[in-house]
Structure 1
Amino acid sequence: MSAPRIATHLDAKALGYCNAGLRRWFPRDGVTFDDFRQQGVTTGWLRATGDAMAIRLAEYVEQQANSLMSEGAKA
């Protein structure tokens, strides 16, 4: 597993997630949907929800970050 990253609303939209589905994860641990839209949440927070779609988003964000890091190492 990768280091925790910040997942944003734009990341969720890139996976085709709709706002109605995203709202199911909130509020949790004092985080609201508006917080997510404005600041994002950590991939660890997403995993802790136990929701399969949230975990998929966490994996997507971590894979994107790993891809960027490996591309940077090649340069």
Structure 2
Amino acid sequence: MSEQRSNLQIATHLDAKALGYCNAGLRRWFPRDGVTFEDFRQQGVSTDWLRATGDAMAIRLAEYVEQAETEAKA
């Protein structure tokens, strides 16, 4: 049986910075679905939201956050 994510995973601005992402690049994802860059900086966004952008860098950030959480649980 495959394991499903049981909780919402949030990617933060600090996560993006840890990957070396600059604000100019991050801003390309916003606004989308009512989420602004300032929302992201203050609250983060779900990894599902990042994947839905279709942007390769956003998907990489989602994977980074999900992997970090998996390692933290191990």
Query: Is 1:48 matched with 2:52?
Result: yes
Unaligned runs of 5+ in 1: 71-75
Query: Is 1:58 matched with 2:53?
Result: no
The CA RMSD over aligned residues, in Å, is 1.3
Unaligned runs of 5+ in 2: none
8 A Cα contact 1:9 1:37, kept in partner: yes
Deviations 1:8-55 (A, max 9, x none): 000000000000000000000000000000000000000000000000
8 A Cα contact 1:2 1:62, kept in partner: no
Structure 2: which amino acid aligns with 1:40? Answer: G
Q: How does 1:13-52 map to 2 (within 5 A)?
A: 13-52=17-56
Quote the sequence identity (%): 79
Which structure's residues are more often helix, by fraction?
A: 1
> Which whole-Å CA distance do the structure 1 matches of 2:4 and 2:57 have between them?
18
With the length of structure 2 as denominator, give the TM-score of the two structures: 0.91
Q: 1:52 to 1:37 in 2, by over 3 A?
A: same
The alignment of Structure 1 onto Structure 2 pairs a total of residues equal to 70
> Which whole-Å CA distance do the structure 2 matches of 1:6 and 1:69 have between them?
16
